[in-house]
Structure 1
């Protein structure tokens, strides 16, 4: 499992900035249930996860990233961060890269079911995936399209958490 933080130990942003926005955070992240990750609004955009610098007592900004390989939306906060504890399964990864190169991120809303499996990751190529066991020595996912009747398996080459 790879740790992801958009901030270096000195509190400087270490990821590329895609754009700047103003907004507020209203609860803990649903995508990445770790401390210092939030679910935020900037205008009409729902951003999750948004990371606060853990070394700052009252951060003025958060860095919102769709996935570990994309630039951040840096949100200047218009209100204090919420005190909500992390939500959901704290062992679930936030993002995956499969051995075939597909990249997947945790879904935060309604997810498709195939063969009674909740496909809680949205991947490139129009497929969805479910991690079989994130603690296994070799992590695999089951994946397919929402219209599939059976699922295929693939090995996970990298996993991220905030």
Structure 2
């Protein structure tokens, strides 16, 4: 069984998760409600000052976090060019056929370039007449620059004030970096497998945002059970 990661690449579900029940819904599960709670995390745009060594997904956490850091991905500058600190990893031409599966942001789309699915791809703003996008390529400061000659498919159906914006990439307190998994994945204890981690682990459901340090259900490599695990940083 395979699932698409946020970058459009594929990863295999390990045999250790054979006990998880497959689901064929291409949509992520509903976000965990945090009504009545105000997350104590901070929010900052993606810029060199915002992506420090302690926040970079490849950096292992050296101590338990006291507060989950929330970084809003802002790949475009106000002038419509890639923002300072963004590395363009590739340039391609393609098309966008719907709103992003990995996030409810109103500027995020699901696109293709050849046989590769790119999700999320960010338009410079929410104007469907735009003809270029920056597509996440595995890390918050790495983007594929996508030319979209036919523009975007009408209005984005992600409505402001709708469901909570959930993370696209999470960095756990144990240093693991986890990216959203689209398509049909699996479930464990009633929660959808929403993220695949670079250490072979998986995250189920969405973060619990009721405290300063957010947590999420994490299944370590080779484990058939999940445990609540603190989150150091999220990128959304």
Secondary structure of 1:120's match? strand
Q: 1:104 aligns with which of 167, 178, 181?
A: 178
Residue in 2 aligned with 1:65?
Answer: 136
Q: TM-score under structure 2 normalisation?
A: 0.61
Q: Is the 8 A contact 2:170 2:178 kept in 1?
A: yes
Residue in 1 aligned with 2:214?
Answer: 139
Secondary structure of 2:212's match? coil
Deviation beyond 6 Å, 4+ runs, structure 1: none
Per mean C-alpha deviation after superposition, the further-off stretch among 74-83 and 113-122 is 113-122
Query: Runs of 5+ in structure 1 lacking a partner?
Result: none
Q: 1:24 aligns with which of 86, 95, 104?
A: 95
| Structure whose CA Rg is larger | 2
RMSD: 2.3
Instruction: Write out aligned runs for 1:1-162 (5 A).
Output: 1-14=70-83, 15-54=86-125, 58-69=129-140, 71-82=142-153, 83-86=155-158, 89-130=163-204, 131-144=206-219, 148-161=223-236
Q: Distance in 2 between matches of 1:125 and 1:154?
A: 15
TM-superposed deviation, 1:147: 6.2
TM-superposed deviation, 1:145: 5.2
Q: Is the 8 A contact 1:34 1:90 kept in 2?
A: no
Q: Is the 8 A contact 1:4 1:68 kept in 2?
A: no
1:63-103 Cα shifts (integer Å, max 9, x gaps): 11134435211111121211231289433221111111111
Q: Distance in 1 between matches of 2:186 and 2:229?
A: 18
Q: Is the 8 A contact 2:199 2:221 kept in 1?
A: no
Q: Distance in 1 between matches of 2:151 and 2:105?
A: 18
What is the number of equivalent residue pairs in this alignment? 161
Q: TM-score under structure 1 normalisation?
A: 0.87
Q: Distance in 1 between matches of 2:112 and 2:210?
A: 33
